[in-house]
Amino acid sequence: MTQGTAVIVNLTEQSWTLHRSYGTYQVRGCAPGEPYALIPLSGTRAVMDLGDKRTLEVPITAREVAQDLCREINADGGEDSFFGVFVAQGERPEDDELTEARRRLAVFYRSMVASADREWERSHSYLFINDVQRRAARSLGLEKEWFYQARETSDCPGCGEKVRAGVAVCKTCGAILDRDKAAKLGLAPVPAVVHAPAVEAAKPAPAPTASAPARR
């Protein structure tokens, strides 16, 4: 890590925008296929109001900025919450740092799933399941009744019912929406292969014959 810089590590795809008295910061989430996101930060200065139109500039190191932002993010889920965001010791996180952070994140996610299970048993209402609990179930690869995921749909051209993307045959009216896929699943006849009729080669016209000379 170079002098005057610090690096925040984010293990999740979640992004945050934080407004502090010394500036506004964006902590980005992981891009698809990225194991973690790195957010480099620099030091800054805060202005303290002393009254009587007097101010005092207070330097804030990059590490202090990074620790403050991580503290703000990780405290958002209540006691012992951890959202997978931490300050690396160097320019990139070491393996032991990543292992410990992932362990803490899994512990927090399991607690979120447990609280969602209790709420679902009590109310059976999707309204009381929050985004963090859904994200925890998705990250842990758990299938839960309360883990509702909105799916992309379109209108069936036959009956107008909503159907999910990739459906071969509409279950309401039986309209074939993807003929090739339906044929492979045995839900529609295999499209017949139409062969173009053979074109008979044109026969060459007979060569003109010389006419016999007229007799006198």
- What is the reported pLDDT for 201? 53
Question: How far is the first Cα of the chain from the last one, in angstroms, to the nearest whole number?
Answer: 119
Residues of the chain with pLDDT under 50: 1-2, 216
pLDDT digits (tens, 9 = 90+) for 122-132: 999 999 999 99
Domain boundaries, the chain: 5-93, 153-184
- What is the reported pLDDT for 2? 41
Report DSSP letters for 155-167, one per residue: E-TTT--EEETT-
- What is the reported pLDDT for 216? 47
Would you state the structure tokens that stand for residue 115, as one six-digit string?
Answer: 């609280």
pTM: 0.65
State how far the alpha carbon of 137 is from the alpha carbons of 11, 68, 111, 113, in Å. 16, 28, 10, 6
In contact, 43 and 11? CB cutoff 8 Å:
no
Alpha carbons 169 and 1: distance in angstroms, whole number: 57
Whose tokens are 């006849």? That residue is: 189
Would you state the structure tokens that stand for residue 154, as one six-digit string?
Answer: 């379109």
pLDDT digits (tens, 9 = 90+) for 45-65: 888 777 888 888 889 999 999
Q: How many CB atoms lie within 10 A of CB 98?
A: 17
- What is the reported pLDDT for 46? 84
- What is the reported pLDDT for 128? 94
Alpha carbons 11 and 139: distance in angstroms, whole number: 11
Angle (CA) 125-128-129 rounded to 5° is 95
